Amino acid sequence: MSYQVLARKWRPATFDEIVGQEHVLRAMINALDNQRLHHAYLFTGTRGVGKTTLARILAKCFNCEAGVSSKPCGQCQACTEIAEGRFVDLIEVDAASRTKVDDTRELLDNVQYAPASGRFKVYLIDEVHMLSTHSFNALLKTLEEPPAHVKFLLATTDPQKLPVTVLSRCLQFNLKRVPEDLIAGHLRKILEAESVAFEQPALRHLAHAAEGSLRDALSLLDQGIAFGDGQVTEADIGQMLGSISRTHLNRMVLAVAEGDSEAVMQCVDELAALSPDYDAVLASLITLLHDLALAQHIPGSLEMHGLDVHELSGIAAKMSPEDIQLYYEIAVRARRDLSLIPDPRHALEMALLRMLAFRPASGGDEPPRRPPPSKPSSPPGRQASAAPATASAAPPPPASAPASPPATDDWEGLLASLSLSGMARAFASHCALEGIDGDTVSLTLEKRHESLKTDSIVNKLSRALSDHLGHPVKLRLRISEASLSSPAEKQRAENERRQLEAEAAIAADPVVGEIQKQFGADIIPGSIKPVQESL
């Protein structure tokens, strides 16, 4: 007996066997059981989601010898012949190969005649959007006044190309992409029934690669069984798809979280030996970072997706939410720019190196920074014009000598001296300093910026203040409804002042005025930018 591919062997024969599409099934089942039959049905959706499968099951429901219902018997002559593709009153047409109006007229010439053996004569037209305009006109005439014994089942992946006159005469069902967890569960059911050994992570790889198409998933599963010589393993499926195993990916992200650049590059070397598809690798990295964010905020959702909660939670515990958000953004940008990079491996390497280089500062856990190299002394002729040294350029005090407390109104000066970056610095810049009393630093934050406040950011600011002042600091934060003169607000006001000055300077410039006069030119709003001041 010849081998039958899984997509055909496991094609649903009843509504109960359909995976997903509950919104469509509910409407169709209720209509059939209440004998509310329409003369034309339109099934839309991407490839492999079940359009023609639903249409064939519906044809069984119409013609089952046990009567019209949502549960055809599957045993009568009509059900059997429809399942085997030899029912004379089910006329299946591929519109892509029969686009001419003569083909459509020939097809519809027999509409007026009664069914040969069934209850209804059913026309199943696949990819109906491929019909020509004249063919649609010929079909429309029949759709407007169909004989009682005729049913039309139309399927398309592109409903936007159908004339509205056709759409308005059909009962339309839009089939959705099948969720990955449902695809993975269905593959598991099939492999257990087929007695094929498998690893659960491999099924998730296949479900992800199918992109919502159950038929594609079954075709990939057939390929995976052949590739793995009768079994489905994560390593084999990863190699087949050009993707990376979840174990390898977890190890790589864990090395990034621990700041171990050598381990990260070793992971890349091991990966390169498999000649992977780097686009798929970056896609898998993005998915893992998404799962880690879920592990931090909604761990219960991991079980719903069949993920290893224990392992993901262990990795997520080594990373802050800010880390994960930054890494996710870096990975997304790397995948978007992949086509611009001569060597795709370099795209992955640079993404990982960016994660290591630009990870948010973590207070006392931050690795020590290398001091900048000393500059050579300026030539004598340029010493007089050298800019005076600023407070931020002064050498730091010895580690054993704590910094002297600043004046209570000099929050900008203190902030410039702190080892802060990213969201922590943004949060601090929106605060105003009320005062420093012993080991207590009192800050005020405007109510409209309260969303910046998180426990992690407050802890980073407290550690940075403690390091700078040379003793443990207790941070007291007050929320104020009133406007504050914070560093960020002062900077905003300064930027606004400089912008207005720049606009006024351009408006008063005689050359600009002459150009406007001679050529009828207009100054484009928003195009004027202040000149950056020299440091």
Rounded to an integer, the average pLDDT of 212-231 is: 91
Question: Do the domains spanning 6-174 and 180-241 agree at the CATH topology level?
Answer: no
pLDDT tens-digit readout, 526-535 = 778 887 654 3
CA angle, 495 as apex, 494 and 496 as ends, to 5°?
Answer: 90
Show Cβ contacts of residue 445 under 8 Å, excluding neighbours closer than 6 positions: 427, 430, 431, 432, 452, 453, 477, 478, 479, 480, 484
pLDDT higher than threshold 90 for residue 191: yes
User: From edge to edge, which strands make up the β-sheet containing 440-446?
Assistant: 431-437, 440-446, 474-480
pLDDT of amino acid 181: 86
Mean pLDDT over all residues of the chain? Answer: 82
The CATH superfamily holding the domain 406-485 is DNA polymerase III, tau subunit, domain V (3.30.300.150)
Residue 124: pLDDT band (50, 70, 90) is very high
Q: How far apart are CA 35 and CA 105, in angstroms?
A: 30
Do 217 and 49 contact (CB within 8 A), yes or no? no
CATH architecture of the domain formed by 246-357: Up-down Bundle (1.20)
Show Cβ contacts of residue 57 under 8 Å, excluding neighbours closer than 6 positions: 12, 13, 14, 15, 18, 72
Lowest mean pLDDT among 16-20, 71-75, 182-186, 422-426: 422-426
How far is CA 328 from its chain centroid? 10
pLDDT of amino acid 533: 54
pLDDT tens-digit readout, 430-468 = 899 988 888 899 999 988 888 778 888 888 899 899 988
Pairing state of beta strands 150-156 and 171-174? unpaired
pLDDT of amino acid 117: 86
CATH fold group of domain 6-174: Rossmann fold (3.40.50)
pLDDT of amino acid 381: 38
The domain locations on the chain are 6-174, 180-241, 246-357, 406-485, 489-519
pLDDT tens-digit readout, 237-256 = 877 876 677 778 888 999 99
pLDDT of amino acid 217: 92
pLDDT higher than threshold 90 for residue 260: no
Give the range with max mean pLDDT: 95-99, 217-221, 293-297, 417-421.
Answer: 217-221
User: From edge to edge, which strands make up the β-sheet containing 40-44?
Assistant: 90-94, 121-126, 150-156, 40-44, 171-174
Class level of CATH domain 180-241 = mainly alpha
Residue 100: pLDDT band (50, 70, 90) is low
pLDDT higher than threshold 80 for residue 41: yes
Helix axes 422-429, 487-508, angle to 10 degrees: 80
